[in-house]
Structure 1
């Protein structure tokens, strides 16, 4: 059990790392804006009386939002290992600020779902590129022995900020309304945290966030580095067993999350209205998942210290398989509790994956690997939600899909246990 002075000691450790504190501020503000934007977009498209969304519409929206950047992200990731990451953060936040205004204007004009999704796709892509840059930069602002702990702090702060951003959206939505004009007003508020993130990005000294040059750096022209981004990223993942293993487990978790998300959204639309009540129920499920992830973030350093970075994800995946089976009855209250537990289990796996990439991968290739993780993260999610959309009934009542999620977790556990054993990390 941690001592009562542990939070104070942790706070002092953060204060002793001024550049990490700045990075933490930037990540927190950025994720608040991300949560607000994603929740506002969901409200605009899926819980809008002027628009309708069935299973394929929901799956299609996720595909448009996340697949295109997932395909090009690892190419762009080469730039994180090529350019001053401070300049990358400044450029990404500047672009987000402009594009949010474009999406707001399209919503106000009543543009089609596809046009709005394409605009949101670009906003989302810059946000994900920014997140990969922040993760790759973290080892530059903390000592090696503190990477897991400070990564847990940063992840917990980001998760809490995203949740509060999504929850904050309910206020403007209730005030401005759930139609296109109200959704546009809600989305426009996102410009505030993004502008703050831009100012925070400018505060970093040049080159303090990397990248470092080394013998493993990808040399040659920028065009060559970008064109081979996927190759170098995937090759590095496969060459580092702890990274390959944890990413396999993480992909399994994201696939199950995709299945569960579609189940819950369709069940809510079948039982609730598409107004604040419906989106409030969806927010409760996502909030439970986020809360579980937040608490797991605080617990993961202790679990890894006790069991190591190989055994801990194995246990989390096994636990998740059991929890997923318990939710197969598809009762919303039970699924919310299961969402909490699965959020915790998935976050344990993700933190172990992040730590493997930050500790076991050379900085000259770290941006490549983080963008490969991001691509795998969302492509697994979209693939699962699309496959589920092909067989799920309109009311979302498909217990067989929930059981399928248990099988996916077990496959992820088997791959992690096998691949991770080749390069088993001790701590």
Structure 2
């Protein structure tokens, strides 16, 4: 952005811009869809964690946590690219609305199956379906944002919108963990969490369907959804070529891949650590409560990123902001390696939340400014695909790298060094954009 464009925005200040943004009706409507849906995501995933990792009859080993985490995300690595085609060929308002209603139905089916004593396999399949739809909807929300926000407010909107969604997911998860830990773990708590999630998903779908049909894109000339594997494959390939032509967006996704890999490995370790070290292994409710503290710290760090990003990632400063966030995340990763004290780990979780979400705000802005709207659905689906593939790879690595008690030790120190290397590369301008 040219200097003459940047300075008026800086002189005006962030707070007036924020006031204008929060008076934008369509933006608030899209925010309502995101916050409601992601709060439901947090409750849904916390309910699954309580059922599979903190039930009295189950033990949380690195292998079990890694396998369950990877399996829950693997379907999106298959359906994700085709969801991107859908987002670029069908009204995104319809995808967001009916997709959330589909999630509500699947979550209710999961609650019914769990209440009737169905096997873990049946509940797991329904959970797979909910989470697969979830990733497509998050891509749709990101692709729709430029239709309700002016380009000069992308950084501000990206500071508030995805971060608020992450905080909402953290609040939903933390509240579910707190209730579950106090009332007792097991299938009963899981049923309650899934029912509450279903109601919130239904509310998000209803709000999304109040948008005008074409307001959120794609452009009218994009055409109807195509049928047939060959045509869909061509659409996906076109999206990948577009991303390759937008070097800033592609390079930014590389940073997200590293972030997500580290986050996945650390998440597996933290779940095991909460069950085996931070609480008596024979008391799963205490372990779940310890995990709740760490989730709250991550949510607090993510919220702080939303507060700081409008100043730190203002126009012309996006890349230095991303560099700083990488260093913050590296500091949090280092703390994970040097201590198993719960207060220290809470600080580390907060720094990881701040660093990860802060960098994501910058990356979202780079991607939104670098790609054409006709390809945005496929590019943001590729973005989410990177999230899930790297997380699954981290889970596979966790089987080898995470010890039985969850103490990462030297592994976390190596991950922190990796963050420093990424920050050095970013600081030298290897990841550039017009942001």
| Superposed pair shares fold, TM > 0.5 | yes
Alignment RMSD, CA only? 2.5
Q: Which residue of 1 aligns with 2:330?
A: 321
* Residue of structure 1 aligned with 2:383, choices 364, 373, 390: 373
Q: CA-to-partner distance for each residue in 1:271-299, whole Å, 9 max, x for gaps?
A: 31453321111121122122111111221
Partner of 2:65: 58
| CA shift for structure 1 position 318 | 3.3
Partner of residue 118, structure 1: 125
Deviation at 1:340, TM superposition (A): 0.9
Residues 68, 323 of structure 1: alpha-carbon distance in 2 compared, 3 angstrom cutoff: same
Report matched runs for 1:5-154 at 5 Å.
10-15=18-23, 17-154=24-161
Distance in 2 separating the partners of 1:415 and 1:111: 50
User: Does residue 398 of structure 2 align to residue 388 of structure 1?
Assistant: yes
Corresponding residue for residue 283 of structure 1: 292
1:310 aligned onto 2:319? yes
Structure 1 residues 148-227: aligned runs within 5 Å: 148-170=155-177, 172-174=179-181, 177-213=184-220, 221-223=226-228, 224-227=230-233
How many angstroms does 1:367 deviate by? 0.5
Q: 1:363 aligns with which of 370, 373, 376?
A: 373
Counterpart contact for 2:89–2:225, Cα < 8 Å: no
Query: What SS is found at the alignment partner of 1:205?
Result: coil
> Matches of 1:266 and 1:221 in 2, distance apart?
45
Name the CA shift for 1:109/1:23 in 2 (closer, same or farther; >3 Å). Answer: same
Query: Which residue does the alignment assign to 2:237?
Result: 231
- Which residue of 412, 425, 433 maps to 1:402? 412
* Residue aligning to 1:266: 272
Go from structure 1 to structure 2 and tell me whether the alpha carbon gap of 1:298 and 1:222 turns closer, same or farther (over 3 Å shift): farther
TM-score by length of 1: 0.90
Moved more, 117-126 or 182-191: 182-191
Deviations, residues 156-200 of structure 1 (Å, cap 9, x unaligned): 321221122112213542575312133213321212211211210
Number of equivalent positions: 420
In 1: Cα distance, 2:254 partner to 2:212 partner: 36
- Residue of structure 2 equivalent to 1:242: 248
Seen in structure 2, the aligned counterparts of structure 1 residues 288 and 153 have a Cα distance that, compared at 3 Å, is same
Counterpart CA distance in 2 for 1:413 and 1:228 is 36
Q: Displacement of 1:245 after TM fit?
A: 1.9
Are residues 1:346 and 2:359 paired?
Answer: no
Equivalent position SS for 2:313: helix
Aligned-pair CA distance for 1:233: 3.2
CA contact (8 A) 2:97 2:205 kept: yes
Shift of 1:372: 0.6
TM-score when normalising by structure 2: 0.89
- Which consecutive unaligned segments of at least 5 residues does structure 2 have? 1-9
Q: Which moved more, 1:189-198 or 1:315-324?
A: 315-324
Q: Which runs of 5+ in 1 are unaligned?
A: none
